[in-house]
Structure 1
Amino acid sequence: MAERRYPPNRRLAWERLQRGWSYEEITERIRSEMTRAGETDTGLNANTVRRWEIGERWPDPRYRKHLVAILGKPASDLGLLTPDELAVRPEAETLHEFRRLWDMLTGDDNGNGWDRASVLRAFVGASMLPLVAPLLSLDPDAAHADSKTVDPDAYRLIVRCQRELYWTSPARPLYEAAYAHTQLGIGLLRAATGTNRASLASALAESALLTARLAFFDLSQPAIAERCYDVALAATREAGDHALAAAVLGHTAFIPAFGHDPASARPLIDAAIQHTWHGVSPMVRSWLHCVASEVEARAGAAAASRRHIDLAAGAIDGDSTPPEWLDFYDNGRLHSFAGYAALASGDHREATGQLDQALVGLTGTSAKQRSVVLADLATANGSDGDQAADYLNQAVDALHTDWYGTGLDRVRAVRPLLGDSRHGAQLDERIAALTAGRAALPGS
């Protein structure tokens, strides 16, 4: 075996994996860029790229410039700069990046429905707005490091407690607490060195993932969620945690899927599945196939949606023990995804059977999903107005007990089934009262 002469280039490997590219695919892309530039291919092959990633070789300058071009990232983000080159790198334009984020959230065309006060509530909490800048980089910062040893287990303990609270706590206060804890983790990671750094990065990825889930699924704020997913993904790279990387990419795919952009969601799923070939639990792969199934169902590709459900079921048979943080998926959730896929194909009988099983399987750690399952059952029974109305009213009851932004969205999507009927008018009144009551709550 060749001797490792350089540190493993995890940044380059992660960027390749996040695009779902094999060694052969990225090699071919480099060759294409060289041909386009009129340069001669001097024997580059897939094994060369592999050796760059594991530290046996350092990319020559003629390859480095093409890696920057095809990956769309600066050389520093791809691990292509030597320590001497990093030392003369200009400081990051943090203020410029913050202004870009602010404009994205508060511009007239942001499409998120947030005014500036809402952004302040989301970011600030207890004066968190000045701390947005650390989200922009996880790079070690010697200037802010101190001699204290960071305890990753203590940080992870709080992440674990917040994750447990997710199923029973109001979303907004928990989001603010999780966001603050993610900010803390970024600061700690930038000061961490040695063996603690990888463990702390993994815990930070869990925290950022939880924060993003709250922002997207509970509070319906995709722009905030996307930034937090970016932090989570960067942290998985620092940790070398393929399972978490797959989970973050899978969650990120929901953003374009919900936005009716399956073409942007599919590459994220493909990249996530690439990570699962690195010793990841089959349960993670099963969940990813369920995510892919929902992406295809929303795109109207019913056959592809059901094919992914079959793959999900096959994977879950191989290992029923998920990672600790994968508390959002189990056999019951598989039935829920399967029911949604059956709805997409118009098989309402199959959908009802799957969704009934999902409803029975819901536990205390999955109560938020009840409103979604009930709304889908209303769709499956749409030919019976009374039955559909009953399921939708049960869904609203569930939202009173366990608020879930995605659940309300699903109820509203199914509401047209009731038309101008008495049931429809009553449901509208209940939805209006629910949303008005929530708007009146402190911090909403």
Structure 2
Amino acid sequence: MPKPGNTKLVAARVAAGYRSQEALAAALDVTVRQVGRWESANPPWPQPVHQERLTRLLGQSLTDLGFTPPTGRVETSAPRPGHLAAPRGTGSVPSQGRPGIHPAAVADHYTSAVIAHRGLYWTVAPSALHPSVLAHAGLGHVLLQETAGATRQRIATALAETYLLAGRIEFFDVQQPERAADTWVRALQAAGEADDPLLGSAILAHTAFIPGWRQQHDEAAERMTAARTYARRGPASALHLAWLDAVEAECETRCGNTRTALHLLRHAETLLADGTGPGAPEWLNWFSPARLAAFKGNTELMAGLLPQARDTLLGALDSIPSGEDKQKSVILGDLAAVEAAAKRPEEACAYALRALAQLRDTWYATGMERVREVRRALMPWQHEPCVRDLDDQLYGWETTVSALVR
């Protein structure tokens, strides 16, 4: 397969929501041919009038976007004010520097740490794991400059997964969506360097959560279209395609389209029941039939299908594998929400207290937000003893300080 062109610019364009060269050209007030030249394997240095527009629109420096300054010239443009800088100790995916310094085994060693981080995510506190993941990304940048060929490609793949994990921590564990957006752009750039369309699909689907949770339906839908396009180049496993359905269903649910979401979830169930096709990559360890049931239970809750939601979520709770404690707090929170909607405050408080106990062991901002939503739903019963007991736990010293710090 021929080496793609300026993958850094392509990745930044897609991550910013411009699915086509035509869309970016319109936003920059340039021709499509000009964008095509910039996205080629040897992009020309932009004219000064275009430098500022590119960096402001895409939020990265020109070198981060894959441009090389002409000899004797330095870059003067900067990302738009207020844009998040790269994680400390890292930058954009670099062009190949001094290749061939390291043996092929260096890719095995680097990837082994990525695999370890993949497993540690489920139980290690995000405040402890996140710095380690970012430091490993910094090492990956160095190794990209000092390797070549298949070894460099494997390093780029591992770096893409590292950034994907860092973004997951930022988005789901500590609720910093803007920082996660920046990190996932770098993940997409690394996946482009590796020419790994399935990782690209996974990263793009993660970026859809950001507009989806903000109820920005059209932007979320565009990112999911891009994710599915990359998945077709895979080929993708049934698990991967079912997860794409689940992500899109969550975005539709948060935008109020529960009927569409339930249709997507039924399609995902069919895919998993069939089970044919290629196997899933090892890095796709955040999805399973139990997690699909958790997605479905939340959508049924939002659709007002309370008996169905209760049954689905109880099934998900029973089947979730041991060690996936973060997801348990979310399921317990949704079960509490079902009981609150059914006007059963004592049952709602019991599930919410179980979720809080889980969160004390394994912090997960998404799980805590579910509990807070339940507490808001319990306002009509706030003077009941069960709700006051919940408040004692929800606003205890340890829980309150932990929530503020994290």
Does the TM-score normalized on the shorter chain lie above 0.5? yes
Q: Distance in 1 between matches of 2:190 and 2:292?
A: 28
Match of 1:189 among 113, 128, 144: 144
DSSP 3-state at the match of 2:253? helix
Query: Per-residue deviation at 1:13?
Result: 6.8
**Is 1:287 aligned with 2:243?**
yes
> What amino acid maps onto 1:154 in structure 2?
H
2:166 matched residue in structure 1: 211
1:116 matched residue in structure 2: none
Which aligned pairs between 1:2-401 and structure 2 lie closer than 5 A? 7-9=3-5, 11=7, 87-88=70-71, 90-92=73-75, 96-97=78-79, 100=81, 103-104=82-83, 129=88, 131=89, 134-135=90-91, 137-140=92-95, 142=97, 147-149=101-103, 151-278=106-233, 279-319=235-275, 321-382=279-340, 383-401=343-361
Q: Distance in 2 between matches of 1:395 and 1:294?
A: 21
Query: Per-residue deviation at 1:437?
Result: 5.2
Consecutive unaligned residues in structure 2, runs of 5 or more = 45-49
Q: Distance in 2 between matches of 1:327 and 1:232?
A: 17
1:63 matched residue in structure 2: none
Q: Distance in 1 between matches of 2:3 and 2:364?
A: 44
Query: Per-residue deviation at 1:352?
Result: 0.9
Q: Distance in 1 between matches of 2:267 and 2:54?
A: 32
| Higher deviation after alignment, 225-234 or 262-271 | 262-271
DSSP 3-state at the match of 2:286? coil
DSSP 3-state at the match of 1:391? helix
Aligned-residue identity in percent:
30
> What amino acid maps onto 1:426 in structure 2?
D
> What amino acid maps onto 1:148 in structure 2?
H
Query: Per-residue deviation at 1:393?
Result: 1.1
Q: Give the TM-score, by structure 2 length.
A: 0.81
Change (3 A) 1:408 1:93: farther
What is the root-mean-square deviation of aligned Cα atoms in Å? 3.8
Q: Distance in 2 between matches of 1:299 and 1:171?
A: 28
Q: Give the TM-score, by structure 1 length.
A: 0.74
Q: Distance in 1 between matches of 2:299 and 2:368?
A: 20
| Higher deviation after alignment, 370-379 or 254-263 | 254-263
Q: Distance in 1 between matches of 2:72 and 2:326?
A: 47
Would the aligned equivalents of 1:297 and 1:344 in 2 still touch at CA under 8 Å? yes
Q: Distance in 1 between matches of 2:220 and 2:249?
A: 11
Would the aligned equivalents of 2:212 and 2:220 in 1 still touch at CA under 8 Å? yes
Change (3 A) 1:311 1:375: same
Q: Distance in 2 between matches of 1:274 and 1:8?
A: 16
Query: Per-residue deviation at 1:155?
Result: 0.7
Aligned residue pairs, count? 382
Match of 1:418 among 361, 378, 382: 378
